[in-house]
């Protein structure tokens, strides 16, 4: 439960206020957290109905179990204050079966209404169009990727891939009295801390080798300008939403990287679409969403890092995500110009910066007044490990967890953003190491290993106490050639 709570805390820090379950009933413990923490929830039932997506999926049991499962979900969760709507399906094959598919949706909607007449029903559609019968059945219109348009780039013209022009207005015209929301947007791809050159001049483009991706290392650039072929970057989604103010909002695919679906590199272990990586480390994209979803928060985030010994004298674009409306960038004290966000612009770009070691600083402004500052510095050689627990006191119940971040730093304590040292962890006291990770989607090492190679300077280690044995834990991290790092964690019988 603590692991899920930590995830929700990070989403709240970003400005997220609602989550959509995908694509099955959530654990009741998760909904206990959303109730307590004030998140809104779209409770979702099925990823397929009678038409299959894979040979052995739930279509085999839907005719017998669909009604029972739908009723069970609503009965279990209808008294949850966080649940605001029921989603009866996600991208189901019945979108393609006209009236027959709409009839399945009608039956599920009626089942839902019989169990709970207080909340609306919807289904997430990635293909169904306004003139088809299925959208008319549900109470709310939920669109996956269709609002921004799917594969509208010129390179997809003439292909047999699904291509859909932007659909917000057609649905609005057909259903003027129905709420429209984006139930799935973006599917932006990136690997935390990996910056590939050249940088796309576009705000949204598909990933290809030499254009945001590198299939030899299986990573996608963290400049956050590339998405899956059918998706879009946050910049493009924000512009589409701002152009259609009648749209209620968006749910982003996805909050966190997850095991499986490693598009576009299928030999990797995990996805690239998360705003936060699998270890729980924030990608740069986190701050782009934060700049939009928390406009009252003074913040300014610079990317990329500024440790590029091989790029001296080369163009190294600098982007800034800020809740301000303009900003001035400085390199080693020299102004590189002041830029203002234009209409439908959500990042500030200095695309002609020539790299030199030192300090990059941005000063952001809002309504003409200084708003926030951000800084990145060139690091020295890796010298030490620094450990930072998310909580230094936990319960000694064998379930509570402390998530400890290990950073590789130089002699001055500056983060070394490209470090890949192998780090070993040892715990003293009445506790145990549960797992380690580094957020690298290409890494297949077991999560239970007490050793992990840093991925772009970071490693995560998860610690818990022994039930009924309160005391002090001492976590030690070591790596050849680096000064060891350590931190103390106290476990208590009662809540600290």
Residue in the structure block whose two tokens are 């002699």: 411
| Residue 253, token pair as written in the block | 């695919």
- Tell me the C-alpha distance between 121 and 116, whole Å: 10
- DSSP-derived secondary structure letter, 229: T
| Residue 240, token pair as written in the block | 């589409």
Q: Look up 184 and say whether it is catalytic.
A: yes
Residue in the structure block whose two tokens are 């947007």: 185
- Tell me the C-alpha distance between 216 and 332, whole Å: 35
- DSSP-derived secondary structure letter, 59: G
Q: Look up 356 and say whether it is catalytic.
A: no
Marked catalytic residue, from 44, 94, 148, 184: 184
| Residue 342, token pair as written in the block | 């234009």
Q: Which residues, in sequence order, are bridge partners of residue 142?
A: 124, 181
CA neighbours closer than 13 Å in the CB half-sphere of residue 13? 15
- Tell me the C-alpha distance between 128 and 134, whole Å: 7
Tell me the pairing of strands 212-214 and 219-220: antiparallel
Cα pseudo-dihedral 188, 190, 195, 197, rounded to 10: -50
| Residue 323, token pair as written in the block | 């809740």
- Tell me the C-alpha distance between 103 and 97, whole Å: 10
Contact call for residues 82 and 34 (beta carbons, < 8 A): yes
- Tell me the C-alpha distance between 388 and 359, whole Å: 24
Angle of the 62-77 helix axis to the 28-37 helix axis, nearest 10 = 30
- Tell me the C-alpha distance between 16 and 64, whole Å: 37
Residues 6+ apart with CB under 8 A from 144: 90, 91, 124, 125, 126, 182, 183, 184, 185
| Residue 111, token pair as written in the block | 């089942």
Cα three-residue angle 293-295-298, rounded to 5 degrees: 125
The helix/strand/coil state of 74 is helix
| Residue 386, token pair as written in the block | 């620094």
Tell me the pairing of strands 458-465 and 431-437: antiparallel
Give the closest residue to 221 by CA, choosing from 234, 206, 237.
206
CB environment 244-256: b (16+ within 10 A), e (fewer): beebeebbbbbbb
Marked catalytic residue, from 44, 91, 148, 250: 91
Contact call for residues 320 and 362 (beta carbons, < 8 A): yes
Question: Would you name the residues annotated as active-site residues?
Answer: 91, 184
């Amino acid at each position: 439960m603590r692991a899920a709570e930590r995830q929700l805390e990070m989403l709240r820090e970003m400005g997220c206020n609602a989550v959509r379950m995908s694509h099955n009933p959530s654990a009741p413990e998760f909904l206990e957290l959303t109730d307590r923490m004030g998140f809104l929830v779209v409770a979702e039932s099925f990823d397929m109905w009678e038409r299959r997506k894979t040979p052995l999926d739930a279509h085999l049991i839907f005719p017998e179990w669909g009604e029972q499962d739908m009723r069970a979900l609503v009965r279990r969760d209808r008294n949850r204050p966080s649940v605001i709507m029921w989603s009866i399906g996600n991208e189901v094959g019945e979108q393609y079966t006209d009236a027959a598919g709409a009839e399945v949706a009608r039956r599920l909607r009626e089942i839902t209404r019989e169990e709970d007449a207080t909340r609306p029903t919807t289904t997430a559609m990635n293909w169904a169009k306004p003139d088809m019968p299925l959208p008319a059945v549900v109470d709310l219109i939920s669109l996956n990727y269709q609002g921004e348009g799917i594969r509208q780039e010129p390179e997809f013209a003439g292909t047999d891939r699904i291509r859909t022009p932007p659909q917000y207005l057609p649905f609005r015209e057909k259903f003027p009295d129905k709420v429209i929301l984006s139930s799935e947007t973006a599917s932006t791809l990136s690997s935390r801390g990996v910056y590939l050159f050249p940088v796309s001049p576009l705000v949204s483009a598909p990933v290809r080798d030499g254009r945001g991706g590198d299939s030899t290392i299986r990573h996608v650039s963290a400049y956050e300008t590339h998405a899956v072929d059918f998706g879009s970057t946050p910049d493009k989604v924000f512009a589409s939403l701002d152009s259609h103010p009648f749209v209620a909002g968006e749910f982003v695919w996805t909050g966190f990287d997850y095991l499986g679906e490693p598009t576009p590199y299928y030999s990797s272990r995990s996805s690239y679409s998360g705003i936060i990586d699998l270890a729980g480390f924030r990608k740069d994209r986190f701050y782009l969403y934060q700049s939009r979803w928390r406009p009252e928060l003074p913040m300014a985030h610079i990317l990329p890092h500024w440790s590029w010994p091989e790029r001296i004298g080369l163009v190294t674009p600098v982007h800034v995500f800020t809740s301000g409306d303009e900003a001035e960038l400085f390199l080693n004290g020299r102004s590189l110009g002041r830029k203002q966000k234009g209409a439908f612009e959500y990042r500030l770009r200095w695309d002609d910066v020539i790299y030199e070691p030192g300090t990059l600083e941005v000063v952001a402004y809002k309504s003409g007044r200084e708003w926030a500052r951000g800084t990145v510095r060139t690091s020295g050689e890796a010298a030490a490990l620094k450990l930072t627990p998310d909580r230094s006191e936990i319960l000694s119940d064998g379930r509570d967890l402390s998530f400890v971040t290990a950073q590789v730093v130089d002699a001055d304590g500056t983060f070394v953003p490209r470090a890949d040292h192998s780090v070993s962890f040892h715990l003293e006291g009445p506790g145990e190491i549960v797992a380690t990770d580094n957020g690298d989607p290409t890494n297949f090492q077991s999560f239970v290993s007490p050793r992990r190679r840093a991925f772009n300077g970071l490693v995560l280690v998860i610690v818990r106490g022994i039930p009924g044995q309160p005391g002090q834990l001492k976590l030690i991290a070591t790596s050849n050639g680096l000064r060891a790092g350590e931190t103390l964690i106290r476990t208590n019988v009662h809540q600290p």
